[in-house]
Chain A
Amino acid sequence: GENVEQHPSTLSVQEGDSAVIKCTYSDSASNYFPWYKQELGKGPQLIIDIRSNVGEKKDQRIAVTLNKTAKHFSLHITETQPEDSAVYFCAAKEVRTGGFKTIFGAGTRLFVKA
């Protein structure tokens, strides 16, 4: 089955700097890669996603890139703000008989220092 690895586990940046989180996946059949943000005491919330037929996608300060050949994808946050502090999870959607399954990485705790 699919396996998703995520790095780093913790990331601390100064407000205004950029943050990059990287993930790798194992199943070449995976075709959808969402990123979720989890704030303290809340459930994860989708912030951006990318399909396997696209190499890059941007939404304001957030961008994702995908390298299908290398099986890795990354989240880039520019001009970080204190409210970006949270745990971020990458995920890969595993294509399988009977439906689809979303496999999550272990998460990256992002601290943005004011």
Chain B
Amino acid sequence: EAGVAQSPRYKIIEKRQSVAFWCNPISGHATLYWYQQILGQGPKLLIQFQNNGVVDDSQLPKDRFSAERLKGVDSTLKIQPAKLEDSAVYLCASSEGTGGAGTGELFFGEGSRLTVL
């Protein structure tokens, strides 16, 4: 079974520039998540999609971050304009569902490492 695919793996940009990250979840997984992992910290949820609808984007800095999941499969996370503090690894994860009686185990991609200079 193919895992969660992310690209690019690495990106270096200047502050105020824009960047986009792409994620392809595990086939059949209804829920897709974008997490931000700053060096030395645990993953922090930015946005959660159920199919192509947003379940939770309460911690997404909406003045500069945007995300979409067209057709309920692939997703793109965009940052515009980037700030120095956006330097982090952006992890995409997927799960079969959001929980209920199940666990909603998260399957993570390898992440996209962003450096903002």
Contacts and interface: CB of A to CB of B under 8 A. Distances in A.
Interface of A: 4, 6, 32, 34, 36, 41-46, 49, 51, 89, 91, 93, 95, 98-107
A102 B111 contact: no
Contacts of A6: 42
A45 B3 CA distance: 11
B50 A32 contact: no
A105 B111 CA distance: 18
Given A43-B93, A43-B110, A99-B50, A107 B104 contact: no
Given A32-B104, A89-B43, 14 more contacts: A4-B42, A6-B42, A34-B106, A36-B108, A43-B93, A43-B108, A45-B108, A46-B106, A89-B42, A99-B98, A101-B56, A102-B104, A102-B106, A106-B41
Given A100-B99, A100-B104, A44 B43 contact: yes
Contacts of B99: 32, 93, 95, 99-100
B14 interface: no
A67 B72 CA distance: 38
A105 B42 contact: yes
Interface residues on B, range: 20 to 34
Contacts of A49: 103, 105
B25 interface: no
B104 A43 contact: no
A98 B31 CA distance: 13
Contact of B109 (A43, A51, A95, A103): A43
Interface in B36-69: 40-45, 48, 50, 55-56
A99 B43 contact: no
A104 B106 CA distance: 12
B105 A34 contact: yes
Query: Which of A46, A91, A102 lies at the interface centre, i.e. has the most chain B CB atoms within 10 A of its CB?
Result: A102
B91 interface: yes
B40 A107 contact: yes
Contact of B41 (A41, A45, A93, A107): A107
